[in-house]
């Protein structure tokens, strides 16, 4: 009975959170959110979410904004901008850059998809073709600048969030119309974007001065030039980081304010009046529901006759928490964090290729498998002798069945509410056909990692006689604490000095943020499944399916048949 209640609770969280997110995303029904697919001349398709307010009609066409996410993100990252702009009366097209999300091609193909997306937006009968804005975060400057270059008179204003014209050599207009630059004081990419060591020093950037057409430092908050003739320039420098620029009242509010100044909407509101966070809270609740669903589904399957043989009480090796146990926890927690940056660097040599086209994904697997290899060596030193009850065939079947239910749940909320499971940098979405074909190769390697890692975890962390919550808690600590310390250390340095503790690794540090909650979830699944089966295998297979799905769905493609691969180093410098 308890298991069925947990199963019902999971669905209540998923559907309830999805409904809340949907209501916020659609402004209570006043905005329609639909899927669009846009063909390009280069033969790839650009995907997007189109937000259309009720006030936008062929008789009363509305101003519009094309919005783009940054590298290794997807269109959903732009939902704070899309929500706030659409509820003010703008039509918004939140696009997937090529090589990302559901768009085809690889990173950089077809001007990152920007020209085709702008042309599609202008073709809509309910869009005012003379009142279009462009917004891009980070590498999102690529598509919006390519769009501006392709149609110099086809837009009225641009907002670059944490970005710069011509990032990594991407084409950009020499004099973009009515440009606002929103750049955080703690932006981790200040050197790459504007050639200054700290985000707080961006106003003194010679590159920015050239873009603004001034001889000295730019004054933050001052409008240079004139909106009427398209020469306006504005810098805002709020106290936020790079990933906060698309997830903060300051970052979103500055963009909304600039568009309301340059392209007045039919329903202007104060820029500080924002509701988008409730959508993120809704999808976070749904994400928590997904985790509960995985655990409850696993328990329900163990209650079925077909999987009854998997039911075995755990037999931990540790009798108590002595010095050896504490050392095991410390090593388990610290090792992934210690190896992360060095092995990610080595992983750059794992170039995109079939069947491994995702370059950052490849780096993550070098880190994961390298860490697993080191843990095997350490495990031989400790030489614990756990007695596992491994039933491989049934374990494979129960893992597949459990994750099939989990995957069905995301199809349900995508179909009902057009939302996925996410909060800030954490995001899980359905796979399209292309990424489904990419999944098997990655799944094999993630399975190797989790079999080694969760065997080590089950052999050293559980203690005989401990309660469920203690088991889950210590497993979470062992898996996630190291990354938590790594992230805290990096951002304590950033907020204290303006620089990360490792200032040459901004991308990998931002990627690391999401591994704090992800590794915590893995710890919970590992402890839960081990306690019920006395085996690390079911949990390892479930986690391999979950993480390979997670990374494959949200990471950029750098290789695809028919497209010239981009040099991997270009992505690294982003």
Read off the pLDDT band of 380 (50, 70, 90).
confident
H-helix or E-strand spanning residue 75? none
CA 18 to chain CA centroid, nearest Å: 18
226 shares its domain with 332: no
* Contact of 461 with 474, CB cutoff 8 Å: yes
Burial 238-249 (b: 16+ CB within 10 A, else e): bebbbbbbbbbb
Residue 554: closest CA among 429, 461, 469, 434: 429
CB–CB of 389/533 below 8 Å? Answer: yes
Rounded to an integer, the average pLDDT of 47-75 is 97
* 197 and 305, same domain (yes or no): no
CA distances from 560 to 45, 104, 433 (A): 13, 9, 13
Query: Residue 71: its pLDDT value, please?
Result: 97
**H or E element at residue 343:** helix 323-346
For a pLDDT cut of 70, what percent of the chain falls above it? 98
Quote the domain boundaries for residue 455: 285-573
Phi, psi of 384 (to 5 degrees): -75, 155
Q: Does 328 lie in the same domain as 450?
A: yes
- What pLDDT is attached to residue 378? 83
Residues 176 and 311 in one domain: no
Sorting pLDDT into bands at 50, 70 and 90, what band is 385?
confident
Mean pLDDT of 526-548: 98
Please say which residue of 247, 271, 295 terminates a domain.
271
CA distance 198 to 536: 45
Residue 11 lies in a domain: no
Specify if 34 maps to a domain: no
Beta strand pairing call for 421-423 and 426-428: antiparallel
Give domain status of residue 32, yes or no.
Answer: no
Question: CATH number of the domain that 222 lies in?
Answer: 3.40.50.1820
Q: Higher confidence at residue 574 or residue 74? A: 74
| Number of domains present in the structure of the chain | 2
- Per-residue pLDDT at 561: 83
pLDDT of residue 194: 98
Q: What is the pTM of this model?
A: 0.96
Which tens digits make up the pLDDT trace of 189-233? 999 999 999 999 999 999 999 999 999 999 999 999 999 999 999
* Shared domain check, 361 and 387: yes
Task: Identify the domain boundary among 240, 271, 302.
Answer: 271
Task: Give residue-wise pLDDT tens across range 460-479.
Answer: 999 999 999 999 999 999 99
Give the residue with greater pLDDT, 561 vs 184. Answer: 184
Are 180 and 290 contained in the same domain? no
pLDDT over 90, % of the chain: 94
With 90 as the cut, is the pLDDT of residue 128 above it? yes
Residue 452: predicted pLDDT: 96
Q: What is the pLDDT of residue 383?
A: 67
Residue 233: which region, alpha, beta or left (left: phi > 0; alpha: psi -120 to 50)?
beta
d(CA 246, CA 255): 10
Q: What is the pLDDT of residue 83?
A: 98
Q: What is the pLDDT of residue 564?
A: 73
| pLDDT at position 17 | 98
Cα distance between residue 350 and residue 552, in whole Å: 16
Residue 353 has pLDDT above 80, yes or no: yes
Whether residue 403 contacts residue 294, with contact meaning beta carbons closer than 8 Å, is answered with yes
CA dihedral 71, 77, 83, 84 (to 10 degrees): -60
144 closest CA partner among 246, 69, 33: 69
Domain end residue (candidates: 246, 271, 296): 271
* 278, part of any domain: no
Residue 567 has pLDDT above 60, yes or no: no
- Give the separation between CA 173 and CA 177, rounded to whole angstroms: 9
HEC sequence for 228-293: CCCCCEEEECCCCECCCCCCCHHHHHHHHHHHHHHCCCCCCCCCCCCCHHHHHHHHHHHHHHHHHH
Q: Is the pLDDT of residue 384 over 80?
A: no
The DSSP symbol for 356 reads B
- The whole-number pLDDT of residue 240 equals 98
**Cα distance between residue 50 and residue 63, in whole Å:** 13
For residue range 420-460, what is the model confidence (pLDDT) as tens digits? 999 999 999 999 999 999 999 999 999 999 999 999 999 99
Is 6 contained in some domain? no
Q: Is 315 among the domain residues? A: yes
* Residue 382, pLDDT score: 67
Residues 401 and 533 in one domain: yes
265 and 291 co-located in one domain = no
In a domain, 5, yes or no: no
Claim to verify: residue 238 and residue 147 sit in the same structural domain: yes
Of the pLDDT bands very low, low, confident and very high (cuts 50, 70, 90), residue 565 is low
Q: For 6-22, what is each residue's pLDDT tens digit?
A: 999 999 999 999 999 99
* 355 and 384 fall within a common domain: yes
Do residues 314 and 345 share a domain? Answer: yes
Specify whether the CB–CB gap between 524 and 475 falls below 8 A.
yes
Q: How far is Cα of residue 390 from the mean position of the Cα atoms in its chain?
A: 35
Give the pLDDT score at 127.
98
For residue 50, pLDDT over 50 is answered with yes
Smallest CA-to-CA distance from 527 within 452, 476, 466 is with 476
Does residue 252 share a domain with residue 385? no
Task: For residue 112, give the nearest of 93, 100, 101, 98 by alpha carbon.
Answer: 98
The verdict on residue 142 lying in a domain is: yes
pLDDT-based confidence at residue 517 (cuts at 50, 70, 90): very high
DSSP letter (8 states) at residue 186:
B
Q: With bands split at pLDDT 50, 70 and 90, how would you rate the model's confidence at 377?
A: confident
């Amino acid at each position: 009975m308890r298991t069925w209640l947990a199963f019902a609770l999971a669905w209540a969280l998923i559907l309830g959170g999805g409904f809340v997110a949907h209501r916020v995303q659609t402004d209570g029904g006043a905005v329609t959110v639909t899927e669009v697919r846009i063909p390009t001349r280069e033969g790839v398709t650009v995907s997007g979410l189109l937000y259309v307010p009720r006030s936008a009609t062929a008789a009363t066409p509305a101003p519009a904004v094309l919005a783009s996410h940054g590298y290794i993100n997807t269109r959903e990252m732009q939902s704070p901008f899309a929500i706030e702009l659409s509820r003010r009366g703008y039509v918004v097209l939140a696009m997937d850059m090529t090589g990302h999300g559901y768009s085809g091609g690889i990173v950089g193909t077809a001007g990152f998809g920007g020209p085709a997306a702008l042309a599609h937006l202008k073709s809509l009968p309910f869009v005012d073709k003379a009142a279009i804005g462009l917004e891009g975060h980070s590498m999102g400057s690529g598509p919006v600048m390519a769009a501006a270059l392709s149609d110099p008179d086809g837009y009225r204003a641009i907002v670059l969030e944490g970005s710069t014209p011509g990032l990594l050599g991407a084409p950009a207009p020499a004099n973009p119309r009515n440009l606002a630059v929103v750049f955080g004081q703690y932006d981790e990419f200040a050197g790459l974007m504007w050639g200054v060591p700290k985000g707080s020093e961006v106003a003194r950037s010679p590159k920015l001065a050239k873009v603004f057409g001034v001889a000295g430092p730019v004054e933050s908050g001052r409008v240079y030039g004139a909106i009427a003739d398209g020469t306006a320039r504005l810098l805002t420098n709020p106290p936020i980081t790079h990933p906060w620029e698309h997830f903060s009242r300051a970052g979103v509010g500055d963009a909304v304010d600039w568009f309301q100044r340059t392209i007045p909407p039919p329903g202007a509101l104060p820029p500080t009046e924002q509701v988008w966070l409730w959508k993120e809270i809704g999808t976070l609740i749904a994400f928590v529901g997904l985790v509960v669903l995985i655990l409850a589904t696993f328990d329900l399957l163990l209650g079925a006759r077909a999987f009854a043989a998997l039911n075995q009480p755990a037999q931990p090796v540790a009798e108590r928490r002595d010095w050896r146990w504490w050392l095991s926890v410390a090593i388990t927690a610290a090792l992934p964090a210690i190896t992360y940056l060095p092995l990610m660097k080595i992983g750059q040599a794992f170039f995109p290729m079939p069947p491994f086209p995702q370059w950052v994904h490849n780096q993550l697997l070098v880190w994961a498998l390298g860490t697993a290899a080191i843990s095997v060596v350490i495990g031989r030193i400790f030489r614990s002798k756990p007695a596992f009850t491994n039933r491989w065939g049934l374990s494979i079947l129960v893992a597949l069945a459990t994750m099939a239910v989990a995957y069905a749940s995301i199809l349900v909320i995508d179909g009902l509410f057009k939302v996925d499971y996410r909060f800030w940098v954490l995001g899980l979405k359905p796979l399209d056909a292309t990424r489904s074909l990419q999944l098997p190769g990655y799944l094999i390697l993630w399975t190797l990692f989790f079999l080694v890692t969760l065997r080590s975890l089950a052999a050293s962390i559980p203690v005989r006689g401990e309660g469920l919550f203690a088991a889950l808690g210590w497993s979470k600590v062992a898996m996630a604490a190291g990354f938590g310390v790594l992230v805290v250390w990096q951002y304590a340095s950033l907020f204290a000095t303006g620089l990360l503790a490792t200032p040459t690794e901004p991308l990998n540090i931002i990627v690391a943020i999401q591994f704090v909650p992800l590794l915590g979830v893995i710890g919970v699944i590992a402890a839960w499944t081990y306690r019920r089966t006395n085996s690390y295998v079911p949990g390892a297979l479930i986690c391999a399916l979950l993480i390979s799905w997670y990374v494959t769905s949200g990471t950029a493609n750098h290789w695809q048949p028919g497209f010239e691969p981009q040099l991997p180093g270009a992505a690294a410098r982003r």
